[in-house]
């Protein structure tokens, strides 16, 4: 039986990741065997996570109709309208750079070794709104480790599909296409960093970044790159699309930080979609206990 | 500029029918927004939609107000000028609602935060400035004020040019860097045409004094 733990853990209360993973595997196996034993059916429900928040979840309708995905247009309603133009099958992901096992993998081969789990995360957009989304997927670290990054791999960069025929927004020069994002290796390997393939128990809709997208809940939403076709392990901090577009406004780190304003608006508050009054924005989007140590000694005003 | 066509609406109909219809149409955006809020058809973030829509309608009414005199010069439709005060006041009306939606729904009357916004954020600064400049125009739009101010009324009301430009700039600076300036650009181009026509009329006679060789 799974015991629900309070979300706000202190740093040393967080179980070492490897141990955590083994325990999870053990529990899953145990649970699976029990289920199979009892019903003769395989384990099908996604595992629940201690990283999940128990806050009220944003309605599916809002999550799937209010999107920033400039590949399909700059209006929030454009992705829901045009994202069906994107073909997500077949889909492949190229992995290259500083790793022992680069290659081009079919989506099926990417997903096969991973069991899906649910992560209910807060998502805070740099524009000042937020949602609570029940993602389905697997830890990014589990995926990255398969390619055996070398000691030279200090950063990992991601790219979204580039195909103006499928993504009409790319016909206009609103951003540097293809959309590119990146994480420092330790950020990428953090247990909160997540590869999502679904939400609300279903496969991702295209407007939410099908078939494979990143979710980094302590950073502004634009870091969580959608519809990934390329993963590169690199030695130098990679360029990002928004960083190239407006370096003074969108830094590489882009951690949610109520103390550091966007040049054009305050980040102290946010409107949770569906709520009337604004709520205070939390440091690292409320994940400070888990991730603050990644940035100890860094000036977060400079490294915005 | 010579009038190309000269259409006029017969008198009782202009005052009794046309003007009231324009008045009702000018209220339509507000009615639709209200309906949208009530029926919950404004999407996931209705407050943002309301605030932005009210701001855009402020700009639209300012541009419409500025359109009437060039329209008269181009078409000879002199009656349009008689809609100018009403459309200008509708610009102010939507401007007030836009400002209120910011003060209330965005900031919840947190005056310290609002002051910080005005001082620190250029797009809020110019938006506030545009509103401040619009206020005396609205307050002097009645007949007695026009009579009392005389020539100064004309001078005062030329403020509509800079304040509309500030309004467009407010919209422009709100957009993400390069990515979302397309719509503000449309407003900027329309404003440039309307202001350009006036500049042209002002400069052209001065140039024409020197003989032109063909």
User: From first to last of its 304 residues, what are the pLDDT tens digits of chain A?
Assistant: 455 554 555 555 555 555 545 544 544 554 544 444 444 444 445 677 889 999 999 999 999 999 999 999 989 999 999 999 999 999 999 999 999 999 999 999 999 999 999 999 999 999 999 999 999 999 999 999 999 999 999 999 999 999 999 999 999 888 999 999 999 999 999 999 999 999 999 999 999 999 999 999 999 999 999 999 999 999 999 999 999 988 888 999 999 999 998 888 889 999 999 999 999 999 999 999 999 999 999 999 988 9
How far apart, in whole angstroms, are the C-alpha atoms of residue B98 and residue B61?
13
SS3 letters across B175-201: CCCCCCCHHHHHHHHHHHHHHHHHHHH
**Residue in B43, B108, B176 nearest the CB of A66:** B43
> Structure tokens of B22?
């324009």
- Per-residue buried b or exposed e for A101-133, using 16+ beta carbons within 10 Å of the residue's own CB: ebeebebeebbeeeebbbbbbbbbbbbbbbbbb
Exposed (0-12), middle (13-18) or buried (19+): which is A240, by Cβ within 10 Å? buried
ipTM confidence: 0.81
How far apart, in whole angstroms, are the C-alpha atoms of residue B12 and residue B85?
19
**Residues B77, B8 contacting (CB under 8 angstroms):** yes
Closest residue of B to A270, CA-based? Answer: B106
Residues of A in contact with B43 (CB under 8 A): 65-66, 76-77
Q: State residue A15's pLDDT score.
A: 53
Residue whose token pair is 């202001």:
B195
Going from the C-alpha of A268 to that of each of A59, A258, B38, the distances in angstroms are: 24, 4, 29
Residues of B in contact with A265 (CB under 8 A): 117, 121
Closest residue of A to B114, CA-based? Answer: A266
B119–A contact, CB cutoff 8 A? no
The structure's pTM equals 0.83
How far apart, in whole angstroms, are the C-alpha atoms of residue B30 and residue B48?
15
DSSP A262: B
Contact A66 B177 (CB under 8 A): no
Residues of B in contact with A73 (CB under 8 A): none
Going from the C-alpha of A135 to that of each of A52, A86, B159, B194, the distances in angstroms are: 10, 21, 53, 51
How far apart, in whole angstroms, are the C-alpha atoms of residue B60 and residue B65?
9
DSSP B104: I
Write out the H or E segment, with its range, that includes residue A137. strand A129-139
Between CA B190 and CA B198, with CA B194 as vertex, the angle to 5 degrees is 160
Contact B178 A174 (CB under 8 A): yes
A77–B contact, CB cutoff 8 A? yes
**Residues A184, A238 contacting (CB under 8 angstroms):** no
Going from the C-alpha of B152 to that of each of A182, B137, B157, B161, the distances in angstroms are: 60, 12, 8, 16
Q: State residue B198's pLDDT score.
A: 92
Q: Of A114, A107, A129, nearest to A231 (Cα)?
A: A107
Confidence label for B208 from pLDDT (cuts 50, 70 and 90): low
What does the pLDDT look like over A10-52, one tens digit per residue?
A: 555 555 555 545 544 544 554 544 444 444 444 445 677 889 9
Distance from CA of B48 to the nearest CA of A (A): 10
> What are φ and ψ of residue A220, in 5° steps?
-60, 150
Contact B120 A261 (CB under 8 A): yes
Contact B179 A175 (CB under 8 A): yes
Residue in A67, A74, A249 to test binding to B, most B beta-carbons within 10 Å: A74
> What are φ and ψ of residue B152, in 5° steps?
-65, -25
Q: State residue B202's pLDDT score.
A: 85
Residues of B in contact with A77 (CB under 8 A): 43
Q: What's the whole-number mean pLDDT along residues B120-149?
A: 94
β-bridge partners, A131: A123
Q: State residue B6's pLDDT score.
A: 63
How far apart, in whole angstroms, are the C-alpha atoms of residue A20 and residue B183?
50
**Residues A221, A86 contacting (CB under 8 angstroms):** no
Measured in whole angstroms, the distance separating CA B122 from the mean position of its chain's CA atoms is: 20
Q: What residues of chain B, 41 to 60, have a C-beta less than 8 Å from chain A?
A: 43-45, 47-48
Residue B179's contacts (CB-CB under 8 Å, 6 or more residues apart) are A70, A74, A174, A175, A245
> Structure tokens of B74?
């181009």
> What are φ and ψ of residue A250, in 5° steps?
-130, 95
**Residues A72, A83 contacting (CB under 8 angstroms):** yes
How far apart, in whole angstroms, are the C-alpha atoms of residue A90 and residue A88?
6
Residue whose token pair is 């709100």:
B174
- pLDDT of residue B155 exceeding 70, the answer is yes
**Residue in A62, A245, A278 nearest the CB of B178:** A245
Contact A245 B177 (CB under 8 A): yes
Count Cα neighbours of B186 within 13 Å in the Cβ-side half-sphere.
6
Residues of A in contact with B121 (CB under 8 A): 263-265
**Residue in A61, A246, A273 nearest the CB of B177:** A246
Q: State residue A182's pLDDT score.
A: 98
B176–A contact, CB cutoff 8 A? yes
A61–B contact, CB cutoff 8 A? yes
How far apart, in whole angstroms, are the C-alpha atoms of residue A95 and residue A231?
5
- Of the listed ranges A10-14, A104-108, B85-89, B129-133, the least confidently predicted one is A10-14
């Amino acid at each position: 039986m799974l015991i629900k733990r309070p979300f706000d853990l202190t740093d040393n209360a967080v179980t070492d990741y490897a141990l955590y993973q083994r325990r999870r595997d053990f529990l899953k196996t145990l649970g699976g065997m029990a289920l199979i034993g009892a019903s003769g059916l395989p384990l099908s429900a996604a595992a629940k996570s201690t990283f999940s928040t128990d806050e009220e979840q944003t309605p599916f309708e809002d999550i799937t109709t209010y999107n920033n995905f400039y590949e399909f247009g700059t209006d929030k309603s454009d992705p829901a309208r045009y994202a069906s133009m994107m073909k997500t099958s077949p889909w492949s992901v190229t992995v290259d750079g500083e790793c022992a096992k680069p290659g081009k993998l079919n989506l099926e081969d990417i997903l096969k070794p991973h069991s899906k789990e649910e992560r209910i995360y807060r998502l805070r957009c740099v524009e000042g709104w937020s949602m609570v989304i029940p993602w389905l997927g697997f830890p990014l670290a589990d995926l990255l480790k398969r390619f055996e990054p070398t000691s030279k791999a200090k950063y990992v960069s991601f790219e979204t599909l580039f195909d103006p025929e499928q993504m009409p927004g790319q016909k206009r020069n609103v951003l540097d296409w293809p959309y590119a994002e990146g994480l420092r290796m330790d950020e990428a390997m953090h247990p909160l960093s997540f590869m999502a393939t679904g939400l609300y128990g279903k496969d991702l809709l295209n407007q939410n970044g099908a078939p494979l997208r990143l979710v980094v809940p302590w950073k502004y939403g634009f870091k969580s790159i959608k519809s990934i076709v390329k993963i590169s392990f690199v030695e130098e901090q990679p360029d990002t699309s928004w960083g190239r577009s407006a370096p003074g406004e969108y830094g590489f780190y882009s951690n949610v930080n109520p103390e550091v304003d966007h040049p054009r608006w305050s980040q102290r508050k946010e409107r949770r979609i569906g709520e009337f009054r604004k709520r205070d924005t939390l440091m690292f989007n409320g994940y400070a206990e888990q991730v603050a140590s990644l940035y100890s000694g860094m000036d977060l005003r400079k490294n915005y | 500029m010579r009038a190309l066509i000269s259409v006029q609406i017969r008198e009782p109909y202009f005052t009794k029918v046309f003007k009231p219809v324009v008045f009702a149409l000018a209220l339509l955006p507000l009615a639709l927004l209200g309906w949208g809020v009530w029926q919950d058809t404004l999407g996931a973030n209705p407050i943002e939609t309301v605030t932005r829509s009210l701001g855009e309608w402020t700009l639209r009414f300012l541009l419409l107000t500025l359109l009437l005199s060039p329209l008269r010069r181009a078409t000879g439709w002199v009656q349009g000028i008689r809609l100018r005060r009403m459309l200008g006041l509708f610009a102010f009306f939507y401007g007030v609602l836009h400002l209120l939606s910011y003060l209330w729904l965005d900031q919840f009357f947190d005056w310290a935060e609002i002051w910080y916004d005005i001082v620190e954020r250029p797009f809020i600064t110019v938006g506030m400035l545009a509103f401040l400049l619009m206020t005396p125009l609205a307050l002097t739009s009645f007949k007695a004020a026009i009579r009392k101010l005389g020539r100064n009324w004309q001078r005062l009301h030329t403020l509509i040019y800079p304040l509309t430009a500030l309004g467009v700039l407010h919209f422009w600076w709100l957009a993400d860097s390069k990515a979302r300036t397309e719509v503000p650009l449309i407003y900027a181009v329309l404003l440039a045409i309307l202001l350009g026509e006036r500049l042209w009329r002002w400069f052209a006679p001065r140039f024409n004094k020197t003989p032109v060789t063909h």
